[in-house]
Structure 1
Amino acid sequence: MSENLIIIDNPLARYYLTVLRRRDTRPAVYRDYVKKIGYIIGYEASRLLKWKPVFVETSIAKTEGIVPGKQVYIIGVLGASIPLMHGIWEALPWAGLGIVAARRFKVENKVLVRLYYERVPPDLSEYTSIAVDPTLATGNTMIKVLEKLNELKCKDYLVATIIASRTGLENLWKRFPDVRVITLSVDPVLNQDYFIVPGIGDAGDRSLSSDEF
């Protein structure tokens, strides 16, 4: 589809995704596995970050190592992104954490999105930003998030999601042709309610609901 698409091909990640796809996975388990996937995504995202060489003293000698070469900000869409953000943050604990809130509404045969809240630094020009949403369905929410990052002077960003639809990726790349996307799966279909098929269900409802006893 694009050289900017990074699909994580890892058996453990595929197993975690299988658990999320099951309709009978309970909220606490679903939430935990979203967080585990976040850690794997953070691990893979580290390949795309800036690093710089350093020398460190061990108890015996001096040796070479690396440290982050550029500040990182993880920016998630409330509320479905909460466990996914935390998983990525555990993998990249020096990063900052920002949030945006989006309201989606249908107009005729389209889904429109409005951002109505953000807690993000006013100047992201010195950061690599990782924009996080567990599903990339129409792509409209992520487009709004990246437009906001542009307003905040961010020039270095990537998108992290668990699953994406072909339609969503195509829409995203029409607006941002060079943005890199990390995902576990590209699913083929959006249904009439704009859910990804086969998908992982409504990630927000399934992650944030309480378990029944």
Structure 2
Amino acid sequence: MGELVLIDNPLAKYYLSVLRDKNTTPRSYRDAVRKLGFIVGYEVSRRLKWGRLFVETGLAKAEGVYPSRPVYIIGVLGASIPMMHGIWDALPWAGLGLVGARRRVVDGELEVEIFYERIASDLAVYTTIVVDPTLASGKTMTKVVELVSERGGRDIIAATILASKRGLEYFWSRHPGVPVYAIEVDPLLDHRFFIVPGIGDAGDRSLTPDYVTKY
């Protein structure tokens, strides 16, 4: 079993509750995902490499810190866009990469295909954070981490909001050394490979426009 870092924070649990509510509007859903991204980025920062330095305050020198290893965020299109921005808000010096992954259910089995990627050609020097708001079957995260490893990535972190037990088991069967940061773990997947009780389809719910009428 790999390392699971559950973020036990009441504010994070509140925003997760907003996502679980079927009546949450797309705008509010996006906002909650982005805020959870910031919280996840804050927690991930504990794992990053930091150096020490002295800064001039105007009155005297004070000891401070700076990131001593570059960071690269990779978001899975398109559901991860708000969460990715939230992590970027927390770690604004990070680089940013994008991966497009397509899910298909064939004869009751889920297949994942990467059809687009825009990431650095060499990730060896980075701490790489792979971002997807749900880790359901684990297959999308597995594919993206494989791609990161092929590009030389060794210091890899998986960041999500909600994972399933089955997804974690699958992911760690392929990448046992990659820690997973999450707000919560749910027990089940349905026949469409969505997490139950879950937060719905994170892509549809966060990227859909709000409908505004005059009446």
Interval of TM-score (by shorter of Structure 1 and Structure 2): over 0.9
Q: What displacement does 1:208 show?
A: 0.2
Task: Give the aligned partner of residue 50 of structure 2.
Answer: 51
Segments of structure 1 that go 5 or more residues without pairing to the other structure are: none
Task: Give the aligned partner of residue 150 of structure 1.
Answer: 149
Paired residues of 2:37 and 2:87 also in contact (CA < 8 A): yes
Paired residues of 2:50 and 2:69 also in contact (CA < 8 A): yes
Identity value in percent: 59
Give 3-state SS (helix, strand or coil) of 2:52's partner: strand
* 1:150-203 deviation line (CA, Å, top 9, x unaligned): 111011010000000000000000000011100000000001111100100000
Give 3-state SS (helix, strand or coil) of 2:167's partner: helix
1:77 and 2:44 correspond: no
Give 3-state SS (helix, strand or coil) of 2:121's partner: coil
Q: Which amino acid aligns with 2:90?
A: A
Q: What displacement does 1:125 show?
A: 0.5
Task: Give the aligned partner of residue 135 of structure 2.
Answer: 136
Measured in 2, the distance between the counterparts of 1:52 and 1:107 equals 49
Normalising by the residue count of structure 1, what TM-score does the alignment of the two structures yield? 0.98
**Equivalent pairs, count:** 212
Q: How does 1:1-213 map to 2 (within 5 A)?
A: 2=2, 4-213=3-212
Measured in 1, the distance between the counterparts of 2:209 and 2:38 equals 23
Measured in 1, the distance between the counterparts of 2:115 and 2:10 equals 38
Q: What displacement does 1:55 show?
A: 1.3
* 1:113-157 deviation line (CA, Å, top 9, x unaligned): 111111101001100000000000000000000000011101101
Paired residues of 2:105 and 2:192 also in contact (CA < 8 A): no
* 1:21-79 deviation line (CA, Å, top 9, x unaligned): 00000000000110000000000000011111111111111121110010000100000
Normalising by the residue count of structure 2, what TM-score does the alignment of the two structures yield? 0.97
Q: Which amino acid aligns with 1:112?
A: E
Q: Which amino acid aligns with 2:152?
A: K
| RMSD (CA atoms) | 0.8
Divergent runs of 4+, >4 A? none
Give 3-state SS (helix, strand or coil) of 2:205's partner: helix
Q: Which amino acid aligns with 1:82?
A: I
Q: Which amino acid aligns with 1:96?
A: G
The farther-off stretch of 51-60 and 93-102 is: 51-60
